[in-house]
Amino acid sequence: MSEFDDVTPLKPSDERITYRGPLKRLLISPEIGALIGAVVVWAFFWGNGDKFGTAGSTANFLDVAAPLGIMAVAVSLLMIGGEFDLSAGVMTGASGVTIALMAKHFTDNGISLFVCIPAAFLLAGCVGWWNGFLVNKTGLPSFIVTLGSFFVIKGSNLVFSKRINSLVNVSGIEKAEGYKFFKAVLGGENKFGDTKYRDVIFLVGGILFGVLLVIGFVEQSLLRTEKTLMSAMLVAIIGAVAGVAGVIVLHRTDSVKGNVVAGVIGLSGSTLAIVSYSRARFQSREPFAGSVPETARPLIVLGLLGTAVASLAGQLFDRGEENVMLQWLPSWLRLAVALAAGALPLWFFVRQVMRGDVEFRAKAVALIIVRLPIICLVSLIGIVSLFQLTTVQAVRAVLITVAGTGAATCLYRARSIAGKHSTKHFINLGLLMSTCFVVVAFAVRADSSAPRFRGGIFATLLIGAALILATTLVEAKQQKRLLADSNADQFGKRIVLIGMFIGSIALGTRLLFSDGVFRMSVFWWLFFTAVGAFVLTKTKYGNWIFAVGGNKDAARATGVPADKVKTALFMATSLMGAFVGAMILMRLNSVQAQQGDGQEFEYIIAAVVGGNLMTGGYGSVIGASLGALIMAISKNGIPAAQWNQDGRFIFLGAVLLVAVLVNNFVRKKANEQR
Amino acid sequence: MSNTTPLLELQNIGKYFGNVKALENVSTTVKAGEVTCVLGDNGAGKSTFIKIISGLHKPSTGKYLFEGHEVSFDSPREARSLGIATVYQDLAMAPLMSVWRNFFLGSEPTKRFGPINLLDAKFARATAKEEMSKLGIDVRDIDQPVGTLSGGERQSVAIARAVYFGARVLILDEPTSALGVRQSDLVLGYVKAAAARDLGVILITHNPQHALPVGNRFLILNRGQSVGHFEKQDLTYERLIELMSGRVHAA
């Protein structure tokens, strides 16, 4: 019996005190998928056509993203709270219609917007309250309750605008009192000219961003020494100066010769800087010897093959050509290629079935039925793309992206397998990997018809090569920190935070001061994202939102006013709908009664792409905003790449699926390894 | 052990639902720093008894004394405000939220920042970690979701939370029923540790092997009736089994 008398705490063993490095912490955050997705999608379209990525097109997609993003913020909060609002979309229309109708027809002369807009908000508040009240009282799924609201509001929009204005389109609010004020606040546009400081700010900010990010990450992951090694620090500073100089020259010049020299200086300088910095401040570890295991070898071959394909693609296809590809192929050959693209997955599948044992064959019929739609979809995409969508640029971009990413992944896997067996081969493979990056960089640069693409990808690949080389050397030579060290962590986090702040200023300057248009809607989008993220993560109300979505009974049992939280979330969503409705009305000066109809699913998609769990209790506001950004980029990027406009739906569907799968996978992996 | 007034005293408690006698003539005491075990097979009336103590039901007959004063609760909240905390089997926790967020759920610490009340995450993290280590619980990572913890660890978070928020009487409803041997041992260790911090603990269980090592006092129920109330020294394992199965009545 005495075994329980002395309660000893569980002894900390190695397995229990694992420290999560900055990278892993980043990977388990819900918005990571959306962040990577936004960058990838942007880079994809940027590399895919000259029309995308100009100041004008940036302003365009931000204009699409803003209302979507504002709504996604509210919808994601509601989703984290465990509910949906299908009436969110038509609420934007209802608000616009209410304001416009009142402003024109309330009395014979209409009424001031200072009355109309609060009235629309009041109406929205009531709708939101009603949604929340009904869901709380009846316990019915919010899907059904808000579907009812959706139809009622949709009908009302049409009925009232036809009845009062005899049209489904209400316009002419310009004469209403207060129009100027609200136009400026909600629908305003500001033009920024080009300034001579733009490039300087962007460059300095970008470099600072990179440097601070690297320092912050290194500080958070390595084990500090007692004393800083001054000689290594000096080398690091020299390296950093060389690296920065290289980047500046690279940024400034576009001549072939300058590129090569500056690229090499920038690459070696920054690698030297990172490695020396780690040597100066952190403990080194013993190297160990061994050989590359068998399993890594095919990966190395594949990696090299991918590199070759990517560099050939860079050389062979002329990026300036925007024509549809494969015109020079006879039509029967095109058909054959398309059929092959469709038949390939089917053939693989059949082969798999034939190889399998008896039991597997029995299951095969069920499997085929389940997978048939997927196979058909793949074939369909293959056929359609071969006939209509594929331009030379697209093929080039796809080839470089796919082959390059594939090669990098293979070599990375090989490197990490080798890393367990031998320090020397770990370093060798890291070298090989960055060499491949450099090869692809130069292959891309060799084509001279597209300066922007050439310069951008060249610089990005070189920076990537430098980072890989540096991390390889640092990981091989330096001791990783296994314990949490709150001082170092805080220092590292602050540095990263400052870096990100500077980086966003630099990016903002670059985007704004390029003869671009800055709309008030974008300001409101950023504002509401910040407020939403703040409330969710930094206040107790955020805790309550997570709790009512994660386990409503638990929340109630611990004293959280669960019903009030849900009602507040419904009201916030409707009010946000009213806000967006007013914003769109002020921007267009008129409103369609069907406006926002069907948009509620786009809000939900944005939230899900942003890493929010559909079952509630987990998610991120910033992720939802990024999800909206991804959708807006694809909406604008597809026409800019001269693809069939309707293809955006295919793209959207694919983005949604991939985002959810990636989020799921990453979260699982990250949680497994705790 | 302690001679002061018992924290809780229940005298001849009975509960009728219509003409169903759920509980009749049950008495026990709970002292600070001691563990009172309520044992019984399924349907013995354990749950009804717990619901009376935690304020969910009012007793039909009998006296409920808290620190020597007779009390009558209209809601569990009133009981909670006196420091009678219940940790239910299905644990009031959100599985996807981190340990510290769950720990302070519903009573979040805040600090003022200008006009805004901020969640004091730093304090919450540190306090949750410290409070749990006081009970001998070492959580790997205070930021990890509660859903990734084992059943025993989850119980421990709930216990530590109740202790931190000023519980004086801790009611644990079948804390070991869904756990394996090792996990049960851990949880019983936490129960003991909670009692060592001068709390009165009521442990409900149908497992005599779990009750016997940690309990100071044993109330055995069968079919709504008390079949025995023993101090630790007066009871053996065999006797306990006999009483619980309802084959023998207390002398």
Measured between CB atoms, which of B105, B118, B193 is closest to A7?
Answer: B193
Strands (E), B67-198: 69-70, 84-87, 110-113, 116-119, 169-173
pLDDT band for A579, please (50, 70, 90 cuts): very high
Residue B108 included in any domain: no
Chain A nearest CA to B172, separation (Å): 15
Terminal-to-terminal C-alpha distance of chain B: 24
- Fill in the amino acid letter for B140: R
* Contact at CB, A543 and B193, closer than 8 angstroms: no
Contact A620, A542 (CB under 8 A): no
Instruction: Encode pLDDT of A365-404 as tens digits.
Output: 565 566 566 666 666 555 555 555 556 666 666 777 778 8
Average pLDDT over residues A270-281: 88
- Fill in the amino acid letter for A183: K
Q: Which residues pair with B69 in a beta bridge?
A: B66
- Domain CATH number, residue B223: 3.40.50.300
Instruction: Encode pLDDT of A494-508 as tens digits.
Output: 888 899 899 888 887
Residues in chain B within 8 Å Cβ distance of A539: 110, 116-119
Average pLDDT over residues A338-359: 64
Q: Does the structure show a pLDDT above 50 at A12?
A: no
The residues spanned by each domain of chain A are 29-192+522-672, 331-387
Closest Cα partner for A572 from A75, A109, A89, A21? Answer: A75
Residues in chain B within 8 Å Cβ distance of A8: 136
| CA–CA distances in Å: residue A340 to residues A58, A334, A346, A347, A403 | 38, 10, 10, 10, 20
Residue B237 included in any domain: yes
**The two structure tokens encoding residue B158:** 């709930």
Residues in chain A within 8 Å Cβ distance of B138: 9-10, 12, 16
Backbone angles phi, psi at A194, to 5 degrees: -80, 135
pLDDT band for A338, please (50, 70, 90 cuts): low
pLDDT band for A70, please (50, 70, 90 cuts): very high
Measured between CB atoms, which of A20, A558, A674 is closest to B92?
Answer: A558
Residues A128 and A81: their CA atoms lie apart, in Å, by: 14
Residue B121 included in any domain: no
Q: Which residue of A has its CA nearest to B121?
A: A538
pLDDT at B137: 76
Instruction: Encode pLDDT of A159-184 as tens digits.
Output: 998 888 888 888 888 888 888 888 88
pLDDT at A433: 87
Q: Which residue of A has its CA nearest to B190?
A: A7
pLDDT band for A8, please (50, 70, 90 cuts): very low
* Residue bearing tokens 């309330």: A106
Range from A40-44, A85-89, A313-317, A473-477 carrying the lowest mean pLDDT: A313-317
Measured between CB atoms, which of A20, A543, A613 is closest to B119?
Answer: A543
pLDDT at A582: 94
pLDDT at A93: 93
Residue B148 included in any domain: no
Measured between CB atoms, which of B90, B105, B188 is closest to A547?
Answer: B105
CATH fold label, A29-192+522-672: ABC transporter involved in vitamin B12 uptake, BtuC (1.10.3470)
* Residue bearing tokens 């060290």: A485
pLDDT at A674: 46
pLDDT at A366: 60
Beta-carbon contacts below 8 Å between A and B: 106
Winning range, highest mean pLDDT, from A92-106, A640-654, B141-155: A92-106
Chain B nearest CA to A3, separation (Å): 8
**The two structure tokens encoding residue A527:** 């504002």
Q: Which residue of B has its CA nearest to A539?
A: B119
Chain A nearest CA to B196, separation (Å): 10
Beta-strand relationship, B217-222 and B225-231: antiparallel
**The two structure tokens encoding residue B18:** 């219509």
Residues A485 and A379: their CA atoms lie apart, in Å, by: 53
Task: Considering only CA atoms, give the Rg of chain A.
Answer: 28
pLDDT at A98: 92
pLDDT at A626: 93
pLDDT band for A285, please (50, 70, 90 cuts): confident
Chain A nearest CA to B117, separation (Å): 7
Which of A133-166 are b and which e, b meaning 16 or more Cβ less than 10 Å from the residue's Cβ? Answer: ebbbeeeeebeebbbebbeebbebbbebbeebbe
Backbone angles phi, psi at A593, to 5 degrees: -65, -25
Is A672 an interface residue toward B (CB < 8 Å)?
A: no
**The two structure tokens encoding residue A376:** 């058909």
Residues of chain A with pLDDT > 90, as a percent, come to: 22
Domain, as residue range, for B172: 8-99+167-245
* Contact at CB, B213 and A4, closer than 8 angstroms: yes
Residues B108 and B93: their CA atoms lie apart, in Å, by: 14
* Residue bearing tokens 């365009």: A60
CB atoms within 10 A of CB A57: 21
Measured between CB atoms, which of A7, A549, A560 is closest to B106?
Answer: A560
* Contact at CB, A558 and B105, closer than 8 angstroms: yes
Closest Cα partner for A510 from A194, A215, A221? Answer: A194
Measured between CB atoms, which of A539, A617, A674 is closest to B118?
Answer: A539
Instruction: Encode pLDDT of B190-237 as tens digits.
Output: 888 888 888 889 988 888 888 888 888 888 888 888 887 888 777 778
pLDDT band for A19, please (50, 70, 90 cuts): low
pLDDT band for B249, please (50, 70, 90 cuts): low
pLDDT at A575: 96
How many domains does chain B contain in total?
A: 1
pLDDT at A268: 87
Residues in chain B within 8 Å Cβ distance of A550: 94-97
pLDDT band for A13, please (50, 70, 90 cuts): very low
Measured between CB atoms, which of A5, A539, A547 is closest to B97?
Answer: A547
Residues A145-150: contacts with CB under 8 Å, at least 24 apart: A146/A84, A146/A85, A146/A86, A146/A87, A146/A88, A147/A86, A147/A87, A149/A86, A149/A87, A150/A86, A150/A87, A150/A89, A150/A90, A150/A600
Contact B47, B133 (CB under 8 A): no
Residues A292 and A430: their CA atoms lie apart, in Å, by: 13
Q: How much is the pTM?
A: 0.77
Task: Please enumerate residues of B whose Cβ is less than 8 A from a Cβ of A.
Answer: 88, 90-97, 101, 104-108, 110, 116-119, 121, 133, 135-138, 140-141, 144-145, 148, 185-186, 188-190, 192-193, 196, 212-214
Residues in chain B within 8 Å Cβ distance of A553: 90, 92
pLDDT at B2: 45
pLDDT band for B55, please (50, 70, 90 cuts): confident
Which position has the higher pLDDT, A483 or A325? A483
Residue B188 included in any domain: yes
Residues A260 and A249: their CA atoms lie apart, in Å, by: 10
Winning range, highest mean pLDDT, from A217-226, A439-448, A509-518: A217-226
Average pLDDT over residues B55-77: 85
CB neighbours of B161 closer than 8 A, spacing ≥ 6?
Answer: B102, B103, B131
Contact B65, B10 (CB under 8 A): yes
Closest Cα partner for A589 from A110, A100, A62, A61? Answer: A100
* Contact at CB, B137 and A9, closer than 8 angstroms: yes
